[in-house]
Amino acid sequence: MSFTSNYVQCEGRELHYTEWGAQHAETVIAWHGLARTGRDMDDIAAHLSQRWRVICPDTIGRGLSQWSPAPEQEYCLDFYVKLATALVDALGIARFHWLGTSMGGAIGTLAAATTLRGRIRRLLLNDIGPQLAEPALQRIRSYAGSPAAFATVSELEQYFRTIYKPYGWLSDAQWRRLTETSTRRLSDGRVTPHYDPAMVMQFTHHADDYRRWDEWDTLDIPVLCLRGEASDLLLPETAEAMRNRGPRAVVVEIAGCGHAPALNTPEQFALVERFFAG
């Protein structure tokens, strides 16, 4: 199944997104994690596109989307939700399912509680909840805020294989695709991850951005949370609280993964498809 590459103006910023299964009426919005790109969703999108239209955006400051000229104000969940709302409005999508990995799930949670309330039908959270473990946030900040640079793409791939080992199993071809869709070249010729390093201003200028129990408790839609069994970001006690308050999520642990499952195996495909099929 192939996809198209597209650009759209949202809140005065150009967003890039891929579209799969354009012939279908029902839609899934699939939103990537903090330092990643919509191309991470290729495998799950290809599978879901047999039944659904799948839209996979690059967040502002990532992938092929515009970098923010106002990073202190715009690299935060509130602005990401504005972008998501503008995106679905521009594409004429009234109601849809939401699949979000890490940050993408936090965007979906806030959107479902605010500007997209009543439009998000089902919410699937990939290793994210209304409260995150502080040591894991420190770990992510340590590599995301000062991205490494290498002389060759092969060295960058080895770096990705190291820092993203918690994703679980990826084939050699999937690691290569992850690398090639996550690379930009610096003025000195070295290669580095694709994103704007200023996106970590989210953590310095919006310190409570990922504390969202108040919004969680207002949700009244079906929620499925996939938790990597070794996740250091979504702790077991947080997942248990997600089961018992707010929308009372169904939580499924994914073996052999930490933060966050890559959504690239038949077992993971089946979980996602069953949930969106109701």
- pLDDT tens across 79-98, in order? 999 999 999 999 999 999 99
In the chain, pLDDT over 70 holds for what percent of residues?
Answer: 100
Residue of 136, 130, 123 lying closest to 238 (CA atoms): 130
Higher pLDDT, 42 or 141: 42
Q: Is the pLDDT of residue 200 over 70?
A: yes
pLDDT tens profile 34-48 = 999 999 999 999 999
Domains of the chain (ranges plus CATH)? 3-277 (3.40.50.1820)
Q: H or E element: which one contains 226? A: strand 223-228
Mean pLDDT of 199-223: 96
Residue of 102, 58, 28 lying closest to 273 (CA atoms): 28
Residue of 84, 14, 16, 24 lying closest to 54 (CA atoms): 24
How high is the pLDDT of residue 118?
98
How high is the pLDDT of residue 139?
82
Averaged confidence pLDDT in the chain = 97
pLDDT tens profile 159-191 = 999 999 999 999 999 999 999 999 999 999 999
How high is the pLDDT of residue 1?
67
At 215, is the pLDDT very low, low, confident or very high (cuts 50, 70, 90)? Answer: very high
107 contacts 81 by C-beta, under 8 angstroms: yes
Stated pTM of the model: 0.97
pLDDT tens profile 47-79 = 999 999 999 999 999 999 999 999 999 999 999
Q: Is the pLDDT of residue 143 over 90?
A: no
pLDDT tens profile 97-126 = 999 999 999 999 999 999 999 999 999 999
Mean pLDDT of 241-270: 98
**In the numeric block, which tokens belong to residue 62?**
């990532």
Longest dimension (CA), the chain: 52
pLDDT tens profile 13-31 = 999 999 999 999 999 999 9
At 154, is the pLDDT very low, low, confident or very high (cuts 50, 70, 90)? Answer: very high
- Burial of 27 (C-beta count, 10 Å sphere; 0-12/13-18/19+): buried
Mean pLDDT of 193-207: 94
